[in-house]
Amino acid sequence: MENRPQWGSRAGFILAAAGSAIGLGNIWRFPSTAFQNGGGAFFLPYLFALLTAGIPLLIMEFTIGHKFRGSAPLSYARLNRKLEWLGWWQVAISFIISIYYAAIVAWAMSYTVFAFKLGWGENTESFLYNDYLHIAKTPGEIGSLVPGVLIPLIIVWVITLGVLFKGVKKGIEVANKIFLPTLIVIFMVIVIRALTLDGAVEGLNAFFKPNWDMLTEGKVWVAAYGQIFFSLSIAFAIMVTYSSYLPKKSDITNNAFITGFGNSAFELLAGIGVFSVLGFMAQQQGVGVDEVVKGGVGLAFVVFPQIINQFPAFNELFGVLFFLSLILAGLTSLISIVETFVAGVQDKFNVSRTKSIMIGGGLAAVLSLLFATQSGLFFLDVVDYFINNFGVALAGLVEVIVVAWVLRELNSLQKHANSVSDIIIGSWWKVCLGVVTPLVLGYMMFDNIRTNIK
Ligand code: PHE
């Protein structure tokens, strides 16, 4: 306990937490999610979810980590002896996410190299599936390992585990201090370029045009909560782990607000950049913006390369910057995910950090090879679907119900947060966590199950 590692500075912690939050979800998940769920009107449920669930839960997780100073399973166990399983469950979700998140960062690495010569050619879809991923004809048929994916995947793991080997302060903190500011600068350049493209305004109009009627649909609220949870890395044991490295005298509430708003600011920026570019593409093709909107793998690895081909100038440069930003955003998140189970293993089995990185990180790396096989993309879709639809919301729901209602620990946590923070949290915080969040999340789960059964 005494020699638990610590962040070197407040900025170090904030950058690491923001680095975890700002990830692929901000760049490829938020813009299309917002568009499909009411456009400009989506900001209402989104802000509601941020203020009533996202930031309150972030404060709660920061407080648990700071107060109990352990990896998630250990911190939860210290909160209540019977609660260790909650930590392990969340650690397990993180573990699963890490194995496919690493693969996507690896693809971005390959695409950064392709971008130098626009190596994806004209038919970017066929390039992705056939020439790059060598996707198997029959879904689920593992086939062989694809060297083009395997090599960058190994590099991703070497970087990630290398950073973790260096420790919290010299590794994670330093990496985030370099990667995150670099990402923001690169992304600014991308967005400014995007905004000056022909058609950008139409893209933005499509993005911000509010469809107020959609606000009565449950699925829109579900999407807003899902986005906030995934994007802020909450209910994944990550923020508990990171805050367990805070020195005793550290602000909690203010840090949570900075992290939450910083993440959303980046998300908004990504939405503006992506839709400016989509507006440009729609204009080139003479179609409506809604016909070119995509999210996820399709957006980053099919649509973007296609658009980059059509750029008026500096195509290669734009391509390199875009995929570089995916790598940077992805790596800082991946580091946080892997740290979560590395810390869990270390605390539980009382082994050295080095050993737990080799065991935990090594196992994740080996399992991630599944995504370097010819069926990688199929597995990725399946796992991603289950994590997003069941893992995230359920883990968050159980977390608030257990802490607020079963253990009734909100008062003691509030006291702890207020004893160290600039901003004092009042009863609104308990109402958000104890009443609003469980009600909305409960509904979300119910709605999900209902539509999935139908
Ligand atoms: N928050 C990160 C994103 O937006 C992803 C992430 C999810 C990171 C889960 C850690 C855990 O992409």
pLDDT band at residue 390 under the 50/70/90 scheme: low
Model ipTM value? 0.96
Per-residue pLDDT, 442: 86
Q: Is 104 in the pocket of ligand 1 (CB under 6 A)?
A: no
The 10 Å CB-count burial string (b at 16+, else e) for 245-268 is bbeeebbbbbbbbebbebbbebbb
Q: Is 336 in the pocket of ligand 1 (CB under 6 A)?
A: yes
Cα separations (Å) of 454 from 223, 262, 450? Answer: 19, 38, 6
**pLDDT above 90 (res 367):** yes
DSSP letters of 132-179? IS---SSTT----B-HHHHHHHHHHHHHHHHHHHT-IIIIIIHHHHHH
Ligand 1: distance of its center to the CA of 238 in Å?
9
Ligand 1: distance of its center to the CA of 121 in Å?
31
Of residues 272 and 452, more confidently modeled: 272
Tell me the per-residue pLDDT of 82-114, one tens digit each, with 9 for 90 and over. Answer: 999 999 999 999 999 999 999 999 999 999 999
Pocket mutation for ligand 1, best pick of 93, 101, 232, 242 (most atoms within 8 Å of C-beta): 101
* Lowest-confidence segment of 263-267, 268-272, 343-347, 384-388 by average pLDDT: 384-388
Residue 153 within any structural domain of the chain:
yes
Q: How many whole angstroms from its chain centre is CA 446? A: 24
Ligand 1: distance of its center to the CA of 231 in Å?
5
Q: Is 20 in the pocket of ligand 1 (CB under 6 A)?
A: yes
Pocket mutation for ligand 1, best pick of 24, 230, 268, 299 (most atoms within 8 Å of C-beta): 230
In which domain, by residue range, is 273 found?
Answer: 10-453
Residue minimizing CA distance to atom 9 of ligand 1: 233
Average pLDDT over the chain, rounded to whole? 93
Number of domains in the chain: 1
Residues counted in the chain: 454
Handedness of CA 96, 102, 104, 105 (dihedral sign): positive
Q: Is 98 in the pocket of ligand 1 (CB under 6 A)?
A: no
Nearest 10 degrees: Cα torsion 354, 107, 387, 76? 20
**pLDDT above 70 (res 315):** yes
Asked if 58 and 236 touch (Cβ cutoff 8 Å), the reply is: no
**pLDDT above 60 (res 448):** yes
Asked if 292 and 281 touch (Cβ cutoff 8 Å), the reply is: yes
pLDDT above 90 covers a percentage of the chain that reads: 80
Ligand 1: distance of its center to the CA of 313 in Å?
33
58: DSSP letter: H
Mean pLDDT score, 356-361: 96
210: DSSP letter: B
Tell me the per-residue pLDDT of 261-271, one tens digit each, with 9 for 90 and over. Answer: 999 999 999 99
Tell me the per-residue pLDDT of 2-32, one tens digit each, with 9 for 90 and over. Answer: 578 999 999 999 999 999 999 999 998 999 9
Per-residue pLDDT, 389: 63
Ligand 1: distance of its center to the CA of 26 in Å?
9
Per-residue pLDDT, 384: 76
Residue 3 within any structural domain of the chain:
no
Ligand 1: distance of its center to the CA of 20 in Å?
6
Please, how many CA atoms are within 13 Å of residue 187, restricted to the half-sphere of its CB?
A: 26
CA atoms of 101 and 85, how far apart (whole Å): 24
Place of tokens 């069941």: 390
**pLDDT above 90 (res 198):** yes
Ligand 1: distance of its center to the CA of 6 in Å?
22
Residue 307 within any structural domain of the chain:
yes
Asked if 211 and 238 touch (Cβ cutoff 8 Å), the reply is: no
Q: Is 73 in the pocket of ligand 1 (CB under 6 A)?
A: no
Work out which ligand 1 atom sits closest to the CA atom of 26: 4
Ligand 1: distance of its center to the CA of 232 in Å?
7
Work out which ligand 1 atom sits closest to the CA atom of 336: 10
Mean pLDDT score, 364-369: 96
Handedness of CA 391, 393, 398, 399 (dihedral sign): positive
- Domain of 154, CATH number, reads 1.10.4160
Ligand 1: distance of its center to the CA of 262 in Å?
14
* Lowest-confidence segment of 76-80, 185-189, 375-379 by average pLDDT: 375-379
Ligand 1: distance of its center to the CA of 284 in Å?
33
Residue 1 within any structural domain of the chain:
no
Say how many C-beta atoms besides its own lie within 10 A of residue 141's C-beta. 12
Ligand 1: distance of its center to the CA of 176 in Å?
15
Ligand 1: distance of its center to the CA of 229 in Å?
9
Q: Is 340 in the pocket of ligand 1 (CB under 6 A)?
A: no
**pLDDT above 60 (res 364):** yes
Q: Is 333 in the pocket of ligand 1 (CB under 6 A)?
A: yes
Tell me the per-residue pLDDT of 51-89, one tens digit each, with 9 for 90 and over. Answer: 999 999 999 999 999 999 999 999 999 999 999 999 999
Work out which ligand 1 atom sits closest to the CA atom of 263: 4
Residue 2 within any structural domain of the chain:
no
CA atoms of 99 and 365, how far apart (whole Å): 7
Per-residue pLDDT, 391: 67
Q: Is 391 in the pocket of ligand 1 (CB under 6 A)?
A: no
Ligand 1: distance of its center to the CA of 59 in Å?
17
Work out which ligand 1 atom sits closest to the CA atom of 236: 11
pLDDT band at residue 221 under the 50/70/90 scheme: confident
Per-residue pLDDT, 109: 98
Residue 392 within any structural domain of the chain:
yes
CA atoms of 299 and 281, how far apart (whole Å): 12
Q: How many whole angstroms from its chain centre is CA 409? A: 28
116: DSSP letter: T
Residue 391 within any structural domain of the chain:
yes
**Residues with Cβ within 8 Å of residue 242, at least 6 apart in sequence:** 13, 16, 17, 20, 65, 336, 339
Ligand 1: distance of its center to the CA of 260 in Å?
13
Tell me the per-residue pLDDT of 255-306, one tens digit each, with 9 for 90 and over. Answer: 999 999 999 999 999 999 999 999 999 999 999 999 999 888 889 999 999 9
Helix (H) or strand (E) holding 79: helix 72-79
**pLDDT above 90 (res 393):** no
CA atoms of 149 and 319, how far apart (whole Å): 19
Q: Is 28 in the pocket of ligand 1 (CB under 6 A)?
A: no
Asked if 271 and 53 touch (Cβ cutoff 8 Å), the reply is: no
* Lowest-confidence segment of 122-126, 348-352, 370-374, 414-418 by average pLDDT: 370-374
Residue 4 within any structural domain of the chain:
no
Q: Is 263 in the pocket of ligand 1 (CB under 6 A)?
A: no
Q: Is 238 in the pocket of ligand 1 (CB under 6 A)?
A: yes
Of residues 344 and 376, more confidently modeled: 344
Residue minimizing CA distance to atom 6 of ligand 1: 233
Token pair belonging to 154:
């190994």
